A and B are shown apart, each in its own frame.
Chain A
Amino acid sequence: MAKKILILIAIIKGGISMRRLFPAFLFTLFIIFTFSTASFAAGGGVDLEAVPVDSHAWWFWPLILLVVTFVMGVVAVLAGVGGGVLFVPIISGFFPFHLDFVRGAGLLVALAGALAAGPGLLKLNLASLRLAIPVALIASTCAILGAMIGLALPTDVIQISLGATILGICILMLTVKKSEIPDVPQADKLASVLKIYGVYREESTGEKINWTVHRTPMGMGLFVLIGIMAGMFGLGAGWANVPVLNLLMGAPLKISVATSKFLLSITDTSAAWIYMNQGCVIPMMVVPSLVGIMLGSFVGVRVLKIAKPTFIRWMVIGILAFAGLKALSKGLGF
């Protein structure tokens, strides 16, 4: 998994060619849309509390979930996003599962991915424990608050907020540039007190890169919001962690991506417990999703060698935008 992150970082910097995945992905989308339409016709859709009349065998939806999350795992690696951010909008938009359970499963999917990647990234000294511990404390505390808010608010309000957030993420993905090694003239006072700094070896050049951070109080302030949103929507938060760590606080891209991934293992833990204790975990949804995303991630890393990430990234932004609009329309009752 740590190797996967490294490859991911490499492709963020440059491009590799590929178009073969496109037909496969379109086919999968066709399957999702076909079955989701059937589901809505059968009773889901407008009334969020209605019990869908489902004539399929019990294994049908878990199997589709496995297939879709597998594709999601492949695409997430290629697009350089976490599985969690794709999982919640797509599964809540096109499957007959209630948003409560989708968010619970989404958090566990993001958590399992982060737990799998964490040890390798820590051993490689790419994920920094010193950087993660203070921000994780803020994010995990706020994720509890976010989970409480998310579970207390009416489902349509959450759907609308989720839709708006997903569209915001699309804009973020379209506009935010990354900085490989940001210039940090001097560590701020808080970073100096907390001794947030490190050294890593850039494998491509063999060079040792010294790094530290600045604007730490502002960055920590933003982790309040990140934590709340992670808990509220069960999205994972890599999409927000990386820009804050990299662009605002000035951590190198590799350190930011790796620390962000590790950070999710702590932030999502607190929110996952809240969802679990509230009963939002159905193993028949969680386990196929976990297996699908993990297998997809392993395949995704191999596909990367022939993939054109920019193209896939555009495709993911398009799908997310569509899922965001669908969440909005569900919330607004259209």
Chain B
Amino acid sequence: MEKKFTASTAPTEEQLLYAKILQWGMLIGLLCLFVTFAIYVLGIMDPYIPLDKISQYWGQSVHNYLVKAEIEDGWYWVSMLKYGDFLNFIGIALLAGITIICYLAIVPTLLKNGDTVYAVLALLEVIILTVAASGIISVGGH
């Protein structure tokens, strides 16, 4: 069995950096999600869809939900942050966005170590995730 390995069991520099940012991002995202949800259910901020009406929407397809509740897709939620229900999207966006930041953060380390292939792969991943997050990809409703 011919293998060429680094002798160390320690994680690489970029792996540790990724882990550190991921940890903080995850903690902040979850905390934010729980706090905003408490604000929502405790009625500290009024929701866009009243709590007693929400069950009228969750059984419908997303297309019907958006039409009947007069909600737009994409980043429309940012303009609705004055409502308690939409406030929750901050935490969700943080959780869904932290991976992009992790990838961006390790690129300089990869380049510094001469790992150009992985730096390119990391940047490609950033592009893919950013495109997904941007909302420019539209899907035909059903």
Contacts and interface: CB of A to CB of B under 8 A. Distances in A.
A129 B3 contact: no
B18 A129 contact: yes
A133 B40 contact: no
Interface stretch (A73-81, A115-123, A318-326): A115-123
A269 B96 contact: yes
B30 A112 contact: yes
A249 interface: no
B140 to A, nearest CB: 5
A173 interface: no
Contacts of A98: 58-62, 65
Interface of B: 1-12, 14-16, 18-20, 22-23, 25-26, 29-30, 33-34, 37, 40-41, 51-52, 54-62, 64-66, 71, 73-75, 85, 88-89, 92-93, 95-96, 98-100, 106, 117-118, 121-122, 124-125, 128-129, 131-133, 135, 137, 139-142
A197 B8 CA distance: 12
A123 B58 contact: no
Interface of A: 44, 48-52, 54, 56-59, 61, 96-98, 100-101, 108, 111-112, 115-116, 118-120, 122-125, 128-130, 133-134, 136-137, 140-141, 144, 147-148, 151-155, 183-187, 193-194, 197-201, 208, 210, 212, 265-266, 269-274, 276-287, 290-291
A130 B119 CA distance: 11
Contact of A115 (B62, B98, B106, B142): B98
Which residue among A49, A120, A123, A147 has the maximum number of chain B CB atoms within 10 Å of its CB?
A123
Contacts of A48: 61
A277 B73 contact: yes
Contacts, number: 220
Interface residue SS majority, chain A: helix
Nearest to A183: B1
Contacts of B131: 144
Nearest to A117: B26
B15 to A, nearest CB: 4
Given A98-B60, A276-B93, 4 more contacts: A49-B64, A155-B61, A269-B99, A281-B89
Contact of A266 (B4, B74, B99, B124): B99
B16 A123 contact: yes
Contact of B58 (A101, A118, A197): A101
A283 B85 contact: yes
Nearest to A209: B9
B62 A141 contact: no
A184 B85 contact: no
